[in-house]
Structure 1
Amino acid sequence: MSVDTMIAQVERWIGTGEPNEIQSWYRARNGAAYSGNFAWCDATITRAAVDAGEHDAVCFGTDFAYTVAHAQRFKDAGAWHAMTNGIKASGIRRGDIIFFDWDGSSEIGKIDHVGIVTGVSADYQYVFTIEGNTANVCARRVRVVHDIAGFGRPKYKTPPKSTSTSGSSGSKRPVVSLSKLIAAFKKDAPKKGTPVSYEPAIYVENALVAEKLLAKQYADGHAGMATRSGYSLWQQRCGFHGTQPGGDADGTPGMTTLKRLGQKHGFDVVA
């Protein structure tokens, strides 16, 4: 078993809404106190850990639904890392169990939510995660340092090999795949709740924000309609026309405009 096995178990729940099998499974193991539509973010981590054969490493052999208790257990084991010195200095990496305080503190007692880290951006500005019970579903998210209270580091049977992801092995600059970005624009646009189907979309959104073509609140990794509209404006700025579906400025990224955006804002583009 390994960190990749753990992440694969969480990935299989992506898109799950509520009520759900995770809640039913946790209730069957832990009793009627967990009846109804209880918060299930940490139950998701527990279920994945059991299925991955990493229950001892991730949960110390205990089921957790209460994020504060889970974080405290990591601290008691000497495996807690408060997010007090930024993403890069913290050393957070793939497979870490990440805890959030939406008010921006690093206090265990104020923790609101939990997920698992799938990677860290090459510029150490973002942490990529999968989280249960986020906008009532299990979904990928892109998080910034303000929201991260800290993380616990499980002792996986096989430890992770790398600490960051940029979309291309060995690249110092973030890398955006055009084909994957187009797929994200098609998949994310009709949906609400900020599902993140392609994590590096955040680099494109941040570039559009810098160009004053997208409101900062929409730079969340979800390639929704606001992002598509902002990209259409970028295409028009680059000299393309036709904003209807199929037009050169319809908001669907193309290689020419994406490379131009990347050259200006610090990311590379591959097919």
Structure 2
Amino acid sequence: MSVDAMIAAAEKWIGTGEPNAIQQWYRERNGADYNGNFAWCDAAVSYWATRADERDAVLFGHDFAYTVAHAARFKAAGRWHAMTDGIKASGIRRGDVIFFDWDGSSEIARIDHVGIVTGVSADHRHVFTIEGNTADVCARRARDVHDIAGFGRPEYKRSPKTPDTGGGTGSKRPVVSLSKLVAAFEKDAPREGTPVSYKPTIYVENALVAEKLLAKQYADGHAGSATRSAYSLWQERCGFHGTEPGGDADGTPGMTTLKRLGLLHGFDVAA
């Protein structure tokens, strides 16, 4: 699903302060009412959706700077979910557009702020987000239920499927099997000179090198401790937390983070 493209568009702006190019982009499209250093959290969501080619799903074809109007549009489309039953019961998930009321209500008219969901903590106590205009920058945040008014669920496009390449002819992109990759990671293969237990591991390692999380000398096809540590950093970058064994960022690949890596670096993922 191109929810990954939406989140990738947001991640490129992490650390951006103000004034910024998102504000300028919104001003050029929507006029002088947006001169100066205006609040840009929803302008950022509008920008990311435009770059991800998801304007219909996220914006219903419009730009938004006013969070109340944006949430109301989700409601009019039947895609609004008020946060009245807690994080777990709400079913909030990666890619949802999350709206906040700092006073703790779930009323659309009182919404203050907006972001994009990147994940939910294993204990369902926090929702992980990327937000523009949070303390005047674009940043990752962990939000608890008190601040969440509700969320809109975009109907994202599905990415076109690429044929399973598994070694056959006519392949365009390599395929990494998640189950085989996890088995290779669990073996914690030794260094150079020993057989590689799963050759497509190299695609994952090369992607981690490209993300500047793994030193190039460790991209040798052996899923060793350096690779596992680098993958843990990738999981954290994707919004997951918990580096202890069994945590969401413990260095063991999962489908969500592996697909995200493949989307950015040219491989597909199979079970």
TM-score normalised by the shorter chain: which range applies? 0.5 to 0.7
Provide structure 1 residue ranges, at least 5 long, that are not aligned to the other structure: 160-168, 170-176, 185-195, 205-257
Q: What's the counterpart of residue 8 of structure 1?
A: 8
Q: What's the counterpart of residue 84 of structure 2?
A: 84
Q: CA deviation at 1:122?
A: 1.8
Q: What's the counterpart of residue 39 of structure 1?
A: 39
8 Å contact from structure 2 (residues 49, 55) kept in 1: yes
Q: What's the counterpart of residue 102 of structure 2?
A: 102
TM-score, normalised by the number of residues in structure 1: 0.62
Deviations 1:147-192 (A, max 9, x none): 1000000111128xxxxxxxxx9xxxxxxx99469979xxxxxxxx
Q: What's the counterpart of residue 70 of structure 2?
A: 70
Q: CA deviation at 1:197?
A: 5.8
Q: Aligned partners of 1:199 and 1:4: how far apart in 2? A: 12
Provide structure 2 residue ranges, at least 5 long, that are not aligned to the other structure: 160-181, 183-226, 253-271
8 Å contact from structure 2 (residues 71, 108) kept in 1: yes
Q: CA deviation at 1:2?
A: 1.1
Q: Aligned partners of 1:131 and 1:15: how far apart in 2? A: 10
Q: What's the counterpart of residue 130 of structure 2?
A: 130
Q: Aligned partners of 2:130 and 2:54: how far apart in 1? A: 17
The amino acid that maps onto 1:123 is D
Q: Aligned partners of 1:268 and 1:16: how far apart in 2? A: 25
1:26 aligns to 2:1 (yes or no): no
Q: Secondary structure at the match of 1:102?
A: coil
Q: What's the counterpart of residue 121 of structure 1?
A: 121
The amino acid that maps onto 1:93 is R
Q: What's the counterpart of residue 111 of structure 1?
A: 111
The amino acid that maps onto 2:65 is A
Q: Aligned partners of 1:141 and 1:178: how far apart in 2? A: 24
Q: What's the counterpart of residue 144 of structure 2?
A: 144
8 Å contact from structure 1 (residues 140, 197) kept in 2: no
**Root-mean-square deviation (Å):** 2.8
The amino acid that maps onto 1:106 is S
The amino acid that maps onto 2:99 is F
1:54 aligns to 2:68 (yes or no): no
The amino acid that maps onto 2:92 is I
Q: Aligned partners of 2:232 and 2:153: how far apart in 1? A: 34
Q: Aligned partners of 1:97 and 1:144: how far apart in 2? A: 15
The amino acid that maps onto 1:27 is R
Q: CA deviation at 1:116?
A: 0.3
Deviations 1:95-124 (A, max 9, x none): 000000111110001101000001111221
What count of residue pairs does the alignment treat as equivalent? 185
Q: Aligned partners of 2:238 and 2:156: how far apart in 1? A: 26
8 Å contact from structure 2 (residues 129, 140) kept in 1: yes
Q: Aligned partners of 1:29 and 1:267: how far apart in 2? A: 40
Deviations 1:202-238 (A, max 9, x none): x58xxxxxxxxxxxxxxxxxxxxxxxxxxxxxxxxxx
Change (3 A) 1:26 1:270: closer
Change (3 A) 1:29 1:152: same
The amino acid that maps onto 1:154 is P
Q: CA deviation at 1:67?
A: 0.3
